[in-house]
C-alpha cells in the first residue's frame, strides 16, 4: 500500500516534470531512448544553478581548490590504469529472446509453473537432399516430439539403446523402425544443436502461450519451423532465474563492462578503441602535475571538475536516478600521508579531537580521517544550504567488505527519495546522492606506474623534519610507509613483476621520505548532478488544496525550491495588461532585475492564475506593479507588492530596494 502511494507520488512528479518543462525523455518523438533524459527550460535553469553553486562553494570561495575542465574522451591507457577496463563491470544476465539484461543481483524472486523444453529441431533444415535423408527426416519429425529429453535422443543417437527402451521413451516407435530413427536422429544432430529453453507460465495463460514463445525463440535463433522437444512442466519457488518481464529463463551471469566504447579516427580497429569517460575523476589524477605546477597550490589542496559521465547501466531506473548519461561534480582533495604528517608535526590529529564545531577549521596536523570527516560535514552543509534538511538525508558507511581494496573509508550521503526502500525496521534509509571516499594514494600511484611519469611531490618541510627525527621514530614511520606501499604494489602487480621487484620498489618509495618525497593521498567527494536535481525536485514537490466559498476545492502544486536553486527567482506582473502605464512600469522593473537574476515577465490571466503558474515553477517571489506603484496613494509611489511563494504573504517594498532584497535571498 505504502509502495503504491510512493509510486503515485513519483508518477505525479514525472508528469509535472514533463508538463512544466523540467525533464523530458530524450528523443521522445522517436519513442525515447532508455536511460537518457533532457532538461527543459526550467530544468536547465535548475541544473545550471546547482552546478554553479557547487563550483562557487568548492572552488571560488576557497583558496585551496583549483578547477579543471577536461575532455570526455581520453587516452584509453587512463582507464587501464584506473582499473575500469578490467573491473568496471556488473554481473548481468540476459533474456535469450528479448535480449533485455538485468543485473544478476537485482532479479526479483518469482514462483509458479515453468514449462521446459530440452531443445528443438528444424523440420525444414533437416529435410535432406537424398531420398534416404528425406525418409529419415520425415520419420524423425514424426517421433522426435515424443522423445522426452535431449538425453534420450542423445542416447538413441549413440546406439546405446534397445528397441524396447526406445519404445518406452517415445511410446510410439513402431516395430522395425529403430534403425531409421537412429539415422534420422544423426541427421538432425548434424544440422541442429539442441538448446534447452524454459519459461515461467504467466498466471492464467494456457500452455499454448509457452509453446508459442518457445517456437518464436527457436525460430529467431535460426531453427526454422521448429519442432519442440522434451516439453515438461516444473514448479519453482522464489526463483531468481527468470526475466521479470518476459518470464524466460535467464542466461548465466556474465560480467558486462559499463563503459561506452567508440573508435577515434576513421578506422574501427582495436588499436583505435576509446571510451566515453565513466567518471570525471580520472582526468583530475592524470592532470595532477600540470595543475599543481600552474596553480601554485601545495598539498593539501584539491582539484574540482563538473562534467558529463557515461555508464551503460544494465537497468536504468527510477526516472533520472540511474541514467546512462549523467553529470558529476567531483573533487579530488590531495593530502599528505599520515607518515608525513607524523614526521612534520610529531603526531596525527584524529577525529575524536575534532568535535563537530572544530571540524570546520582544517589544521595542518590532520590525518586522512579528520579530512574525510571534514569533507562529509562540508558536503552535508552544502545540501542543507540548498534546502535538503538533515532529516531527508541519510548515511551509509561502507563496510570493509564493500570497500575497494585500496580505500580506507567511504561514506555515502543518501537522500530519501519517494522510491527509496524501507529497511527491516520500517525506516527509509535513502539512496546515494554522493560518495565521499578516502582512496589512499592508489590513483596517483596507478598513473605513475602506467604512464611511467612521476606523480609524487617534493616537500622541503618533510625533508628537514625527517633529518631531525630520532632513528627509532624514523624506523617506525619508514616501516609503516614501506608496508603500505608494498601492500599496494602487491595487490596491483602486473603479471611479470616479481616479489623482489615489488620489495625493491616499496623500499625506494619509503626511502623517498628522507628526501622529502611522497605520493599524496586523496579524499574524493563525488556527487551526481542529476540525482541531486531529482532530490531537489522530489523535496520541493508539495500540493496545496484550497476550498472556495462555494465549497469547491482545488489542488495545486507548489514547488518549494530553496531560492538559491529555484529556476526562476522572480515573476514580474503588471496588475492589468491593458493599462499602458502599469505595463511600462512593470517592464522597467523587469529590465532592472534581469541582468542580475533569472526573472520572468507575465501579464496573462488573473493575478491568481499567474501566482499559480509561478508556484508550479517554484518561483520564490512574485512582484506586482499596481496603481499604488504609479502613485495613486502618494506615499506608496515607486513601491511594489512582493508575494512569498511558500506562505502567500505579501509585503510592500521600494523599487530601489528590490534588487538588493532579491539578491540577498537568492545568493
Near ligand ATP by CB under 6 A: residue from 373, 526, 619, 629: 526
Count the site residues for ligand ATP by CB under 6 A: 16
Query: Which of 94, 378, 530, 628 is in the footprint of ligand ATP by CB under 6 A?
Result: 530
Residue 624 φ/ψ, nearest 5 degrees: -115, 135
User: Which CB atom, from 105 or from 220, has the smaller least distance to ligand ATP?
Assistant: 105
Give the Cα separation of 660 and 368 in Å (integer): 42
| DSSP letter assigned to residue 560 | -
E strands present in 425-466 = 431-438, 457-458
User: Is 288 a binder of ligand ATP (CB under 6 A)?
Assistant: no
Q: Does 489 interact with ligand ATP (rule: CB under 6 A)? A: no
Minimum distance of ligand ATP from residue 531's CB (angstroms): 4
Among the residue ranges 74-82, 521-529, 597-605, 640-648, the one whose residues contact ligand ATP (CB under 6 A) = 521-529
Classify strands 65-67 and 301-310 as parallel, antiparallel or unpaired: parallel
Neighbour count for residue 75 (Cβ, 10 Å): 15
Q: Which residue is nearest to ligand ATP (CB)?
A: 528
Distance of CA 548 to the CA centre of its chain: 45
381-385 — which CB contacts under 8 Å span 24+ positions? 382/53, 382/54, 382/57, 383/413, 383/433, 385/53, 385/57, 385/562, 385/564
Q: Could you tell me which stretch among 430-438, 447-455, 580-588, 639-647 binds ligand ATP (CB under 6 A)? A: 430-438
Q: Does 439 bind ligand ATP (CB under 6 A)?
A: no
411 in contact with ligand ATP (CB under 6 A): no
φ and ψ at residue 121, rounded to 5 degrees: -140, 135
Q: Smallest gap, in angstroms, from Cβ of residue 396 to ligand ATP? A: 10
258 sits near ligand ATP (criterion: CB under 6 A): no
The DSSP bridge partners found for residue 543 are 557
For the window 318-357, what string marks contact with ligand ATP as x by the rule CB under 6 A? ----xx--x-x-----------------------------
Nearer to ligand ATP, 226 or 528 (CB): 528
The residue range among 57-65, 164-172, 527-535, 653-661 that interacts with ligand ATP, by the rule CB under 6 A, is: 527-535
By CB under 6 A, residue 531 contacts ligand ATP: yes
Question: Near ligand ATP by CB under 6 A, which window of 160-168, 268-276, 282-290, 524-532?
Answer: 524-532
Which x/- pattern, by CB under 6 A, does the window 546-585 give for ligand ATP? Answer: ----------------------------------------
Q: Which helix (H) or strand (E) holds 154?
A: helix 150-157
What the block records as the C-alpha cell of 506 is 616499496
Give the nearest distance from C-beta 20 to ligand ATP in angstroms: 22
**Ranges of H-type helices in 88-206:** 131-143, 150-157, 163-170, 178-191
Which of 150, 432, 461, 638: binder of ligand ATP (CB under 6 A)? Answer: 432
Residue 434: CB minimum distance to ligand ATP, A: 5
Q: Per rule CB under 6 A, is residue 311 in the interface with ligand ATP?
A: yes
Determine, following the binding rule CB under 6 A, whether residue 47 of this chain makes contact with ligand ATP. no
First to last CA, the chain: 41
Burial of 52: CB neighbours in 10 Å, binned 0-12, 13-18, 19+: middle
> Is residue 619 part of the contact set for ligand ATP (CB under 6 A)?
no
Coil, helix or strand for 187?
helix
* Other Cβ atoms within 10 Å of 342 Cβ, number: 21
Binding to ligand ATP by residue 84, rule CB under 6 A? no
**Considering the rule CB under 6 A, would residue 434 count as an interface residue with ligand ATP?**
yes
528 binds ligand ATP (CB under 6 A): yes
Q: Any idea what the Cα angle at residue 47 is, between residues 45 and 49, rounded to 5°? A: 70
- Size of the chain in residues: 667
- Annotate 646-665 with DSSP letters as a single string: TT--EEEEEHHHHHHHHHHH
Cell numbers 568548492: residue:
58
Question: What's the rounded Cα separation, in Å, for the pair 143 and 137?
Answer: 10
Residues that bind ligand ATP (CB under 6 A): 279, 311, 313, 322-323, 326, 328, 432-435, 526-528, 530-531
Amino acid at each position: 500500500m505504502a509502495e503504491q502511494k510512493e509510486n503515485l507520488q513519483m508518477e505525479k512528479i514525472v508528469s509535472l516534470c514533463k508538463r512544466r518543462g523540467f525533464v523530458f525523455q530524450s528523443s521522445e518523438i522517436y519513442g525515447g531512448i532508455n536511460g537518457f533524459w533532457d532538461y527543459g527550460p526550467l530544468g536547465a535553469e535548475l541544473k545550471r544553478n546547482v552546478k554553479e553553486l557547487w563550483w562557487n562553494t568548492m572552488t571560488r570561495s576557497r583558496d585551496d581548490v583549483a578547477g579543471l575542465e577536461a575532455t570526455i574522451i581520453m587516452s584509453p591507457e587512463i582507464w587501464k590504469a584506473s582499473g575500469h577496463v578490467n573491473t568496471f563491470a556488473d554481473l548481468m544476465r540476459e533474456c535469450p529472446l528479448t535480449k533485455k539484461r538485468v543485473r544478476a543481483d537485482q532479479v526479483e524472486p518469482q514462483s509458479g509453473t515453468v514449462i521446459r523444453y530440452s531443445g528443438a529441431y528444424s523440420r525444414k533444415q533437416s529435410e535432406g537432399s537424398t531420398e534416404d535423408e528425406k525418409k529419415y527426416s520425415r520419420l524423425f519429425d514424426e517421433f522426435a516430439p515424443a522423445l522426452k529429453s535431449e538425453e534420450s535422443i542423445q542416447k538413441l543417437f549413440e546406439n546405446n539403446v534397445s528397441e524396447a527402451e526406445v519404445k518406452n521413451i517415445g511410446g510410439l516407435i513402431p516395430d522395425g523402425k529403430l534403425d531409421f530413427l537412429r539415422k534420422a536422429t544423426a541427421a538432425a544432430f548434424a544440422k541442429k544443436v539442441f538448446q534447452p529453453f524454459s519459461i515461467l507460465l504467466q498466471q492464467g495463460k494456457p500452455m499454448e502461450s509457452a509453446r508459442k514463445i518457445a517456437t518464436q525463440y527457436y525460430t529467431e535463433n535460426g531453427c526454422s519451423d521448429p519442432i519442440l522437444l522434451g516439453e515438461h512442466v516444473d514448479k519453482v519457488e522464489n526463483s531468481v532465474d527468470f526475466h521479470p518481464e518476459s518470464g524466460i529463463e535467464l542466461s548465466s551471469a556474465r560480467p558486462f563492462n559499463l563503459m561506452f566504447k567508440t573508435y577515434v579516427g576513421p578506422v574501427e580497429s582495436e588499436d583505435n578503441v576509446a571510451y566515453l569517460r565513466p567518471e570525471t575523476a580520472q582526468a583530475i589524477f592524470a592532470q595532477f602535475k600540470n595543475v599543481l605546477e600552474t596553480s601554485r597550490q601545495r598539498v593539501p589542496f584539491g582539484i574540482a571538475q563538473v562534467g558529463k559521465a557515461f555508464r551503460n547501466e544494465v537497468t536504468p531506473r527510477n526516472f533520472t536516478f540511474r541514467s546512462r548519461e549523467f553529470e558529476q561534480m567531483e573533487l579530488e582533495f590531495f593530502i599528505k600521508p599520515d607518515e608525513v604528517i607524523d614526521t612534520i608535526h610529531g603526531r596525527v590529529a584524529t577525529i575524536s579531537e575534532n568535535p563537530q564545531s572544530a571540524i570546520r577549521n582544517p589544521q595542518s596536523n590532520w590525518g586522512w580521517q579528520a579530512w574525510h570527516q571534514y569533507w562529509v560535514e562540508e558536503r552535508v552543509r552544502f545540501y542543507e544550504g540548498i534546502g535538503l534538511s538533515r532529516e531527508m538525508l541519510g548515511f551509509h558507511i561502507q563496510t570493509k567488505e564493500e570497500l575497494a581494496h585500496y580505500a580506507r573509508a567511504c561514506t555515502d550521503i543518501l537522500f530519501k527519495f519517494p522510491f527509496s526502500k524501507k529497511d527491516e525496521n520500517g525506516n527509509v534509509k535513502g539512496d546515494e546522492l554522493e560518495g565521499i571516499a578516502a582512496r589512499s594514494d592508489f590513483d596517483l600511484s596507478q598513473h605513475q606506474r602506467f604512464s611511467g611519469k612521476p606523480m609524487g611531490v617534493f616537500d622541503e618541510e618533510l625533508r628537514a623534519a625527517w633529518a631531525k627525527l630520532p632513528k627509532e621514530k624514523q624506523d617506525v614511520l619508514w616501516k609503516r610507509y614501506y608496508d603500505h606501499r608494498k601492500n599496494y604494489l602487491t595487490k596491483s602487480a602486473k603479471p611479470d613483476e616479481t616479489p623482489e621487484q615489488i620489495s625493491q620498489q616499496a623500499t625506494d618509495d619509503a626511502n623517498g621520505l628522507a628526501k622529502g618525497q611522497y605520493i599524496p593521498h586523496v579524499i574524493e567527494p563525488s556527487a551526481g548532478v542529476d540525482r541531486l536535481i531529482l532530490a531537489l525536485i522530489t523535496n520541493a514537490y508539495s500540493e496545496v488544496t484550497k476550498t472556495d466559498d462555494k465549497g469547491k476545492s482545488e489542488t495545486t502544486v507548489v514547488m518549494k525550491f530553496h531560492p538559491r536553486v529555484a529556476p526562476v527567482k522572480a515573476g514580474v506582473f503588471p496588475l492589468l495588461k491593458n493599462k499602458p502605464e502599469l505595463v511600462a512600469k512593470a517592464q522597467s522593473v523587469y529590465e532592472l532585475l534581469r541582468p542580475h537574476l533569472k526573472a520572468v515577465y507575465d501579464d496573462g490571466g488573473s493575478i491568481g492564475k499567474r501566482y499559480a503558474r509561478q508556484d508550479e515553477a517554484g518561483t520564490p517571489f512574485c512582484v506586482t506593479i499596481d496603481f499604488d506603484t504609479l502613485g495613486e496613494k502618494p506615499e506608496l509611489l515607486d513601491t511594489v507588492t512582493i508575494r512569498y511563494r511558500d506562505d502567500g504573504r505579501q509585503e510592500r517594498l521600494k523599487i530601489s530596494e528590490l534588487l538588493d532584497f532579491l539578491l540577498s535571498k537568492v545568493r
